[in-house]
Chains A and B, each alone.
Chain A
């Protein structure tokens, strides 16, 4: 049984044009289905606004999906009561895109990491403090810096703080929403190594949302490509990168700047009229799906 199963997920936002304008409905997530196996890193890629973050937030019910099913560890997340949802959330955590704005600047970092334990009323004060020190150690931060504030840390360190907080409740599943996009490559490598180490040590499952396709190729076992709210292609990372089928995937892969001045460049420009947006995903080879 997969750890996470998302079926026909839809999220609509209504937007009004101007004060008197008519409201229009945007399908930010439009009939998205995929599964994530235990222990794997599943990548979600696609251009800005394609619905990646919205998908992640719907899975955790940080926003309510319009329709669809989310089954986590055998439980239907969308029908859970508030209390049940709270318990389920201990097992599913999110690390946010922006290490600068996602941490409360007025709180001490030790308190930031401790907060989930307090919210869930776990342990005594002393036990929680010990756990925070342990978490700091786990993510490679100095436990003597618990009293400091977020601005005293670099971007990579702040991302570690976010990760320590996410790990506080011992989750099995983490949605990492662009966890390293704001970081320099050198520091990015530190955080990526940490994510991979923690996955091994704590048997974590990741939904890894990212822009950087090189990174996705490196760490994800499978990947789904989103375009305008839909998954247009999905499959084993190596296979999908080697033989992309959907015109959008091809354009996306051809746009990655290759760090080799002699690499041949053949930019494929996407012609949005060259494919049928309503085409359903179909299996074109074992485990490789494309909406073509």
Chain B
């Protein structure tokens, strides 16, 4: 494991003065703008120097050009992940989680395309860097693991070959050293007898071991961000528990920023520091994990939490009626309105804007004025608990232009 641990030096380099200042300057400017618009200081006193924002998605819009027209799949999505932190992205299937993950790495395929937004990583906007630079980012800086490990592994090469290949392509190691590192990596993800398993083909591994091999491959070049798209959905609970423990351990040991996509609220409760709830392409609520479970505000989040099996045996479960609107069929107004049990007059008029919810726990005296609102625009990820719902404010989403052409990459 010594070699993985050696990332420290590399990270120090990565966070060198240049990169860090650039990042901070950008942030400062944004914050200033926000404060001016809010008019009041956000509820919780902001820590003077928050944990470094490693990855920051801002106002992302990704669309699909379909025969019937252009349909938005990711709308005005903003969030960030810090080093050593786990952000869980939750929501029903079809809500845009995977497209968000693919957009971050610029892997969205036609007819999909990123229409606007930025993905700030180490002081760069990944949506504007060259494809060549992006290739380096994909393998070595931001790793992505998918739900189905079998499709991500090549069946005709041993897992050892595949890890070595990654190492060689990114100039990390070659020859004997690459093989040794592959074995080390398999050991790091707790694959038993790694020196023997390194010669196994993917089909010779169980689902859980395959997912571990994939994680080992993802970690080969010491990325600082790991995006895991439903990494345990296809696995048994016992294996899932092991993989989650492994991810938690890797995050701690290497200070990884983890963007974990899941639809299992049990997994969220176990893993998340913060949670972003996605519905029909938008983030409709974001909060620190405890706050979200104790004090969910958006009717969709409340519905998701209520539908977890529980209560007396045989009692009816609280289902959310209806389904996620299909791509290109967003209702007018609040996208959740057709399924919302608390829908009222304004809900069909326009899309609700982002509202900051006061942190009740931290400021008991604030309970009288529970929520405070304003048109914060999309950049809300530092504001603690936010939601988009007219129950908490009449704020309307400012007109966004998902059609604005994206800056052309060099």
Question: Which A residues fall within an 8 A CB radius of B?
Answer: 47-48, 154-157, 184-190, 192-193, 196, 211-215, 217-219, 221, 237-238, 251-252, 254-263, 265, 267, 270
Q: Which residue of A lies closest to B241 (CB)?
A: A255
Q: Return the contact of B293 from the options A186, A193, A259 (Cβ within 8 A).
A: A259
Q: Quick check: A155 and B307 within 8 Å, CB to CB?
A: no
Q: Quick check: B305 and A259 within 8 Å, CB to CB?
A: yes
Spot the interface stretch: B13-21, B60-68, B264-272, B358-366.
B264-272
Q: Quick check: B310 and A218 within 8 Å, CB to CB?
A: yes
Closest 7 CB pairs of A and B: A257-B266, A189-B319, A189-B317, A255-B241, A186-B320, A218-B309, A189-B307
Cα A263 to Cα B319 with chains together (Å): 24
- B238 → chain A, closest Cβ, in Å? 5
Q: Quick check: B244 and A184 within 8 Å, CB to CB?
A: no
Question: Which B residues fall within an 8 A CB radius of A?
Answer: 92-93, 207, 235-241, 244-245, 263-270, 272, 289-290, 293, 303-305, 307-311, 313-321, 323-324
Q: Quick check: A190 and B319 within 8 Å, CB to CB?
A: yes
Cα A185 to Cα B317 with chains together (Å): 10
Give every chain A residue within 8 A of B239 (Cβ-Cβ): 47
Cα A261 to Cα B303 with chains together (Å): 18
Give every chain A residue within 8 A of B305 (Cβ-Cβ): 259
- B52 → chain A, closest Cβ, in Å? 24
Q: Quick check: A213 and B323 within 8 Å, CB to CB?
A: no
Q: Quick check: A259 and B265 within 8 Å, CB to CB?
A: yes
Q: Decide: A217 near B313, CB < 8 A? Known: A259-B266, A259-B308, A261-B293.
A: yes
- A181 → chain B, closest Cβ, in Å? 9
Q: Decide: A184 near B263, CB < 8 A? Known: A217-B313, A260-B269.
A: yes
Give every chain B residue within 8 A of A156 (Cβ-Cβ): 323
- B187 → chain A, closest Cβ, in Å? 18
Cα A218 to Cα B311 with chains together (Å): 8
Give every chain A residue within 8 A of B263 (Cβ-Cβ): 184-185
Give every chain B residue within 8 A of A237 (Cβ-Cβ): 313
Give every chain A residue within 8 A of B244 (Cβ-Cβ): 257
Cα A210 to Cα B264 with chains together (Å): 16
Q: A189-B318, A219-B314 are in contact. List 5 more A-B contacts (CB 8 A).
A: A185-B308, A211-B237, A215-B309, A255-B241, A257-B264
Q: Quick check: A190 and B321 within 8 Å, CB to CB?
A: yes
Cα A212 to Cα B237 with chains together (Å): 8
Q: Quick check: B290 and A186 within 8 Å, CB to CB?
A: no
Give every chain B residue within 8 A of A259 (Cβ-Cβ): 265-266, 268-269, 293, 305, 308
Cα A72 to Cα B321 with chains together (Å): 37
- A219 → chain B, closest Cβ, in Å? 6
Q: Quick check: A265 and B238 within 8 Å, CB to CB?
A: no
Q: Return the contact of A260 from the options B293, B304, B311 (Cβ within 8 A).
A: B293
Q: Quick check: B290 and A261 within 8 Å, CB to CB?
A: yes
Q: Quick check: B319 and A48 within 8 Å, CB to CB?
A: no
Q: Return the contact of B266 from the options A188, A258, A267 (Cβ within 8 A).
A: A258
- A114 → chain B, closest Cβ, in Å? 25
- B232 → chain A, closest Cβ, in Å? 9
Q: Quick check: A238 and B308 within 8 Å, CB to CB?
A: no
Q: Return the contact of B317 from the options A154, A192, A255 (Cβ within 8 A).
A: A192
Give every chain A residue within 8 A of B289 (Cβ-Cβ): 261
- B235 → chain A, closest Cβ, in Å? 8
Q: Quick check: A187 and B245 within 8 Å, CB to CB?
A: no
Cα A185 to Cα B316 with chains together (Å): 14
Give every chain A residue within 8 A of B268 (Cβ-Cβ): 259
Give every chain B residue within 8 A of A214 (Cβ-Cβ): 266, 308-310
Give every chain A residue within 8 A of B245 (Cβ-Cβ): 267
Q: Decide: A47 near B238, CB < 8 A? Known: A184-B263, A257-B266, A260-B269.
A: yes
Q: Quick check: A212 and B309 within 8 Å, CB to CB?
A: yes
Q: Return the contact of B93 from the options A155, A215, A218 (Cβ within 8 A).
A: A155
Give every chain B residue within 8 A of A217 (Cβ-Cβ): 309, 313
Q: Quick check: A219 and B313 within 8 Å, CB to CB?
A: yes
Give every chain B residue within 8 A of A218 (Cβ-Cβ): 309-311, 313-315, 317
Q: Quick check: B304 and A186 within 8 Å, CB to CB?
A: yes
- A241 → chain B, closest Cβ, in Å? 10
Cα A68 to Cα B324 with chains together (Å): 46
Q: Which residue of A lies closest to B94 (CB)?
A: A154
Could you write out 23 A-B pairs with CB less than 8 Å apart? Answer: A47-B236, A156-B323, A185-B263, A185-B308, A186-B92, A189-B307, A189-B319, A193-B316, A214-B266, A214-B310, A217-B309, A217-B313, A219-B309, A238-B313, A252-B237, A254-B241, A257-B237, A257-B244, A259-B266, A259-B268, A259-B293, A263-B269, A270-B238
